[in-house]
Amino acid sequence: MHCIDVAADIAVVRAARQGLDWVKSNYGNSPWLMVSISDGKDPHFRKAWFDRNKCPTDCPRPCEAICPADAIQELTGVNSNRCYGCGRCLPTCPLGLINEIDHHLGLKELGPLIKKLSPDAVEIHTAPGRLEAFKSIVKVLTTSQIPLNRIAVSCGSEGHGLTHEALAKELWQRYSCLKEYGQRPLWQLDGRPMSGDIGKGTARVAVALWRKTLPIAPPGPLQLAGGTNAQTITHLNNENGPAGIAFGSMARKAVQPWLIEAQARQKSLTEWPEGWENAMSQAKQLIKPWLARKEILGRG
Ligand code: SF4
Ligand code: SF4
């Protein structure tokens, strides 16, 4: 794994740094730390919320059952530390009690925060019609003088009504901006607005978008992002690429139960051998086929 991508939040980054320091001291190297921000309203920066006092006591709690992050609990409502805004719970409430709350950072907060977080890379979630907002963010990041290995640009076609040609045009506009500010791009193509852990369809859509966009995309590594899951690799031929793959909710679903159980035991996962082995085994199942593919295709 080359990069971990977390929310631009001081507590989250502190926890991620602890993990990365542990990796470095045990393995001699650690992945980049990338923080995610957005140039406008975006599902990645929303949280679900409802007033649990309004829930009828006999509600069968479909919201809780559908949540892949185990973020909804009877006594506490939505645990915002676990909610990652996938939106699956929103339509399930028969009383329409669940709202989405936007949490994306404002431009004024961004500069000082980035200086404090000092990440290795930043991911900007963008959308059509937000070029000016995107430029403002890149300007703030550049003037913060934090040396960034890459600025990742995350954008998809679905949900924005874009063809892949229109998406490529949006990426080229962002490429000009990044070039102007001397920043190196990394393109994250979202086949679906959020990474998915269900169905072969999401994986197929993500790969199809990548394949169509590759010949007309601007320079820079082009990664598969939203809609990726364990099926993704089965949709690829012996073609050159993708440059990388981002796993979001699929990775969370594999590892989170072990983290929650470790927390319940008041231990870190590394202090609980059974949980550690199981979590590592789940993570390896996701990643190993990609390493094997890289070896077969002869790329470094
Ligand atoms: S279903 Fe998704 S949006 Fe709803 S609480 Fe769970 S993680 Fe958050
Ligand atoms: S489905 Fe609606 S009423 Fe039922 S527990 Fe969830 S939020 Fe409350």
**Is-contact 113 105, C-beta < 8 A?**
yes
Q: Which among 73, 97, 100 is the best mutation to test ligand 2's pocket, defined by most ligand atoms within 8 Å of the CB?
A: 97
Distance CA 4, CA 173 (A): 26
- Measured from the Cα of 88, ligand 1's closest atom is 1
The CA 5 to ligand 2 mean position distance, Å, reads 31
Would you state the pLDDT for residue 58?
Answer: 94
Cα–Cα distances in angstroms (integers) from residue 23 to residues 1, 87, 125, 263, 285, in the given order: 11, 32, 28, 19, 19
CB atoms within 10 A of CB 219: 11
The CA 47 to ligand 1 mean position distance, Å, reads 7
Which regions of the chain are under pLDDT 50? 300
**Neighbouring C-alpha atoms within 13 Å toward the C-beta of 196:** 18
The CA 165 to ligand 1 mean position distance, Å, reads 32
Residues with Cβ < 8 Å from 241, sequence gap 6 or more? 210, 214, 222
Does ligand 2 come within 6 angstroms of the Cβ of 87? no
Name the residue with the closest Cα to ligand 1, atom 1. Answer: 67
Q: Please, what are the domains in the chain?
A: 3-42+104-246 (3.20.20.70), 45-102 (3.30.70.20), 248-300 (no CATH)
Name the residue with the closest Cα to ligand 1, atom 4. Answer: 89
The CA 66 to ligand 2 mean position distance, Å, reads 11
- Measured from the Cα of 56, ligand 2's closest atom is 3
Name the residue with the closest Cα to ligand 1, atom 6. Answer: 67
**Is-contact 138 181, C-beta < 8 A?**
yes
- Measured from the Cα of 74, ligand 2's closest atom is 5
The DSSP string of 30-63 is --EEEEEEESS--GGGEEEE--GGGS-TT---HH
Name the residue with the closest Cα to ligand 2, atom 2. Answer: 93
- Measured from the Cα of 86, ligand 1's closest atom is 2
3-25 burial, b for 16+ CB within 10 Å, e for fewer?
bbbbbbbeeebeebbebbeeeee
Residues with Cβ < 8 Å from 102, sequence gap 6 or more? 41, 45, 46
At 219-262, the pLDDT tens digits run: 999 998 888 888 889 899 888 889 999 888 788 888 989 999 99
Does ligand 1 come within 6 angstroms of the Cβ of 72? yes
Would you state the pLDDT for residue 231?
Answer: 86
Best CA proximity match to 251, nearest among 279, 290, 215: 279
Would you state the pLDDT for residue 300?
Answer: 44
SS3 94: coil
Would you state the pLDDT for residue 98?
Answer: 96
Cα–Cα distances in angstroms (integers) from residue 160 to residues 122, 164, 223, 237, in the given order: 22, 11, 19, 28
Would you state the pLDDT for residue 198?
Answer: 58
Query: What is the rounded (10 degree) CA torsion for 172, 176, 178, 182?
Result: 140
Q: What are the residue ranges of helices labelled H in the chain?
A: 10-27, 62-66, 107-117, 131-143, 164-180, 199-213, 249-264, 273-296
Residue 6 phi/psi, 5-degree rounding, is -130, 170
The CA 290 to ligand 2 mean position distance, Å, reads 40
Tokens representing 216 are 């007309």
The CA 45 to ligand 2 mean position distance, Å, reads 22
